[in-house]
Structure 1
Amino acid sequence: MTRVAVYSGALVGFVAATVMIISSIALPNWVTYSVTTANGDTLQKRIGLHKSCSSLDDPPCRPFPYRELCQEGQRYFCSMWKTVGFMAAVAAVLCLGTLVAFAVVMKGGKYKRETGWRFVAIMVSLVSAVEFVIISIVAYLYDNDDQFMVPGWNLDASWIISTVSAAICLLIAVGLAASAYLLPPEEGYDFLDDPIGS
């Protein structure tokens, strides 16, 4: 059965995964373009889920995808990218719900810990699934959209962080399920000595 130590370890891992998810949403580092000119200057453009930053623009950052991009035959890209941004927000909300589920199950006593692992594992699996969909869509757009065909574009830190976070969530779900079936019951009953029979 799942024990407090198992839940505690899973919670620590899930908090780390949640921080990674929020960081990947906040940082504009999903896809990055970097090239060094003949003069030795480095030109950079960083694309995040909601904003794009460029060393050539003033101000350097602006909302992404921007209106001009969406009107120049890139409506498919814009729709997909906005869907990714929305799904990332859903993943963050699911993370908060999962943290509440962890708290309820861990504080609910032995019975809730023994039976609540299914709900927690399903929530963590759902977060992982949403994240895998997000990183898959971004990878697909990176591989197939014309704007990324110019050499110098790369999937960057936010994509990597999100991938690691999704993998951690998947491992947590598998670990909770495995511990529920493989570990002996928590704090089993002890037989008392019979003072009359001795």
Structure 2
Amino acid sequence: MTRVIVYSAALVAFIAATAMTFASIFIPDWITYTTTTAPSTPSSPSHTFTKVIGLHRSCESEHGCAHFPTVEDCSGTDRYFCSMWRSVGFLMSFAAVLELVTLVAYLVVINGGKQKREAGWKVLSFLLVLVGVVQCASMAIVAYLFDNDDRFFVGWQLDKSFILVTVSWSIAILSAGFISLSAFVFPEEGDYELIPPSENEMYR
């Protein structure tokens, strides 16, 4: 029963991590730029311009959303940025597939009987670490582009999707460590602890 509780708790946390991953893929909010211009006259309101960039589209407050990277982003000297950004999209999609596979593995291990629960931690830990590594690589590429690409000047900032991915891969890695630790700390299912002999029995 102890292992079932451990796996179930890790599964709940991983479901939340998977939801964060899918949200980061579909919500175009990895990097955001916001600027506010002063009013032209004292009576006119100030104007705020916002642009957000996601893995597959970008949105502006004035012109709506469009596919990203654009054709211009993938030509000339910008080909490097385009290739790197598309690599992030591929890695995140790959991570999402791995997470679905991991969810199936969780269900198989939890419902597969005592033997699968005792040995399943190895498979689950491997999948969780793999998910974490792929997502961490995606996050690292975005952070590198944010710090080094000229298009991201002062005013741009990493936003919600970047944070969601960071939390997601952190949960995956922590879950892998927790499951691996539980395999060595908790007793096997169905086992009983030996009762130490009493003093009278020791001196018989």
TM-score (norm 1): 0.92
**Partner of 1:186: helix, strand, or coil?**
coil
Residue deviations 1:122-161 (CA, integer Å, cap 9, x gap):
0011001001000000000000000002x11000000001
Retained in 2: the 8 A contact 1:32–1:46? yes
Aligned 1:174-189 pairs, distance under 5 A:
174-188=177-191
CA–CA distance in 2 between the matches of 1:82 and 1:19? 21
2:55 counterpart of 1:49: yes
Retained in 1: the 8 A contact 2:73–2:81? no
* Same amino acid, percent of matched pairs: 52
Residue deviations 1:40-95 (CA, integer Å, cap 9, x gap):
111010000000001132xx101100001222420000000000001110000000
Query: What does residue 102 of structure 1 align with?
Result: 106
CA–CA distance in 1 between the matches of 2:193 and 2:137? 48
Taking only aligned residues, the RMSD between alpha carbons, in angstroms, comes to: 1.5
Structure ranking higher on relative contact order (CA contacts 8 Å, 6+ apart): 1
CA–CA distance in 2 between the matches of 1:165 and 1:184? 29
Query: What does residue 88 of structure 1 align with?
Result: 92
2:168 counterpart of 1:165: yes
Residue deviations 1:86-136 (CA, integer Å, cap 9, x gap):
111000000010011001111110110000110011001100100100000
TM-score (norm 2): 0.89
| Match 1:126 to one of 108, 122, 130 | 130
Shift of 1:189: 5.2
Query: What does residue 31 of structure 2 align with?
Result: 31
2:159 counterpart of 1:153: no
CA–CA distance in 2 between the matches of 1:170 and 1:190? 31
Query: What does residue 13 of structure 1 align with?
Result: 13
Gaps of 5+ in 2: 40-45, 195-204
Structure 1 or 2, whichever has the larger Rg, is 2
Query: What does residue 42 of structure 2 align with?
Result: none
Number of matched pairs = 188
Retained in 1: the 8 A contact 2:28–2:53? yes
2:3 counterpart of 1:3: yes
CA–CA distance in 2 between the matches of 1:48 and 1:36? 22
Query: What does residue 195 of structure 1 align with?
Result: none
| Ranges of 4+ aligned residues in structure 1 off by more than 4 Å | none
Q: 1:16 to 1:138 in 2, by over 3 A?
A: same
Q: 1:12 to 1:38 in 2, by over 3 A?
A: same
